[in-house]
Amino acid sequence: MRVDPGATLISEEDFLKFQEYFYRKTGIQFERAKRYFVDKRLIERIEATDSPSFRSYFTMLRFQASGEELQLLTNLMTVNETYFFREAYQFECLVKSILPELTARREKGLPIRIWSIPSSSGEEAYSIAIYLLEFWKGLEDWDIEIISSDIDTKILDAARQGAYSARSIQHLPARVLNKYFKRTAGGYQIGMDLREAVEFTRVNLTEPADTRGYRNFDIIFCRNLLIYFDELSRKRAAETLFDAMRPGGFLCLGHSESMSRISSIYKIRKFPEAIVYQKPLEAR
Ligand SMILES: C[S@@+](CC[C@H](N)C(=O)[O-])C[C@H]1O[C@@H](n2cnc3c(N)ncnc32)[C@H](O)[C@@H]1O
């Protein structure tokens, strides 16, 4: 059924209601300048669900017990831009500074846990795995767990699939590409060993019920997510990530991201390759 185009017009009042609701559910703050982007996706879902108006769609979105429609809409609203070896100086820092420091004080036997959130289509988590394989001798002596999470279930399926376009792999040296990927009709697919080395899970970083089970991480990469959050969501995210880390754990943010709360609860560590935030060793 096609809905009456007049009925799908989203008024300013409707937009503000939706903006507030979506912010509460995801931490993502849509500026007014994003109206076209938001309206387009809302109208797509209003039509796909045969809803006669924005109002009836919005009621269904809020009260649907399964939450399925909210997930589908969230999948449309997220910005999944990422690529292999993005901001690679932090991966350098991981293998040259962070891991040597961490392993020097860590008793053997306990796995080193790394969390990449948000994962998007998996390039960040797989880049970490490739850096470890290529540049970190410690891999022979230490067990590493890599978990990668995102709010977007569709992009997580893509991450598990590990199939990439030429654009996504363009910063990879040819040697690395040949070693870890196979060519496919549409582009490149990362090898099975690496796909099995990373666990992909759905997590909304702003939902305490989702993050409660995520604990004891030694290193967290949280890059290019906080830019979509407002100051309050950033502050809460800083605290959630703090709770998810072991004392002495390290946090890597995107290059344009900082948050005031970070400076009060984390220690700033200036390594030769990058600035990283650390949960103090004496913290609980
Ligand atoms: C631009 S990508 C960043 C990917 C990667 N970390 C990087 O830096 O290349 C942003 C991702 O954040 C995810 N995202 C947005 N809100 C989220 C939330 N509340 N919890 C978890 N992930 C979220 C989106 O689905 C999207 O895949």
Structure tokens at 166: 């030429």
Substitution site in 21, 25, 150 for ligand 1 pocket (most atoms within 8 Å of beta carbon): 150
Distances (CA, A) of 27 to 59, 62, 74, 235: 20, 16, 12, 11
In percent, how much of the chain has pLDDT > 90? 88
Is the peptide bond prior to 52 cis by the omega test (within 30 degrees of 0)? no
Report CA dihedral (75, 258, 275, 142) to the nearest 10 degrees: -40
**182 C-beta neighbours (distance < 10 Å), count:** 11
List residues bridging with 268 in a β-sheet.
277
Q: What is the pLDDT of residues 38-64, one digit of tens each?
A: 999 999 999 999 999 999 999 999 999
Q: Which two tokens stand for residue 235?
A: 């502050």
Helical spans, DSSP H, in 202-266: 208-211, 231-244, 260-265
Q: What would the pLDDT profile of 230-279 be if each residue is shown by its tens digit?
A: 888 999 999 999 999 999 999 999 988 877 667 789 999 999 999 999 99
Could you identify the residue written with the tokens 């500026």? Answer: 31
What is the pLDDT at residue 262? 76
- 186: Cβ–Cβ under 8 A, 6 or more apart, which residues? 163, 165
The token pair at 82 is: 């990422």
Measured in Å, residue 79 CA sits from the centre of ligand 1 at: 7
For 132, half-sphere exposure in the C-beta direction (CA atoms, 13 angstrom radius) is: 23
User: Alpha carbon of 246 to those of 127, 155, 185, 218: distances in Å?
Assistant: 23, 28, 43, 6
The answer to whether the CB of 79 is under 6 A from ligand 1 is yes
At residue 256, the pLDDT reads 83
Picking from 99, 136, 135, the residue whose alpha carbon sits closest to that of residue 276 is 99
More reliable by pLDDT, 284 or 235: 235
CB–CB of 81/166 below 8 Å?
no
Residue 171 has pLDDT above 60, yes or no: yes
Least confident window among 5-14, 152-161, 223-232: 5-14
Per the structure block, which two tokens stand in for 136? 């970190």
Return the pLDDT at 115. 98
Residue 169, pLDDT > 50, answer yes
Query: DSSP 3-state assignment of 250?
Result: strand
pLDDT at 15 over 70: yes
Backbone angles phi, psi at 82, to 5 degrees: -165, 170
C-alpha triplet 265, 267, 270: angle, nearest 5°:
150
Read off the pTM.
0.95
Model confidence at 8, in pLDDT bands (50, 70, 90)? low
Nearest-atom index, ligand 1, CA of 221: 6
37 band by pLDDT with thresholds 50, 70 and 90: very high
Mean pLDDT along residues 117-127: 98
Between CA 146 and CA 122 the distance in angstroms is: 11
Q: Which atom of ligand 1 is nearest to the CA of 229?
A: 16
- Average pLDDT score, the chain: 94
More confident residue, 243 or 107: 243
Confidence at residue 257, expressed as pLDDT on a 0 to 100 scale: 83
**Whole-number pLDDT of residue 255:** 86
Specify the DSSP class assigned to residue 214: -
Task: Retrieve residue 277's tokens.
Answer: 């935030």
Supply 191's token pair.
């090898």
Residue 120 near ligand 1, beta carbon < 6 Å = yes
Ligand 1 pocket, 90 CB below 6 A?
A: no
pLDDT at 32: 87
Look at residue 2 in the predicted model and tell me its pLDDT: 54
Predicted confidence (pLDDT) at residue 7 exceeds the cutoff of 80: no
Token output for 263 = 């400076």
Q: Is 233 in the pocket of ligand 1 (CB under 6 A)?
A: no
Mean pLDDT, range 22-50, rounded to an integer? 94
pLDDT at 5 over 70: no
pLDDT (mean) for 62-86? 96
CA 270 – ligand 1 centroid, Å: 25
The per-residue pLDDT for 6 is: 47
Query: What are the distances in angstroms from CA 106 to CA 214, 275, 284?
Result: 20, 22, 17
Rounded CA gap, 73 and 54, in Å?
Answer: 13
**What tens digit of pLDDT does each residue of 239-249 get?**
999 999 999 99
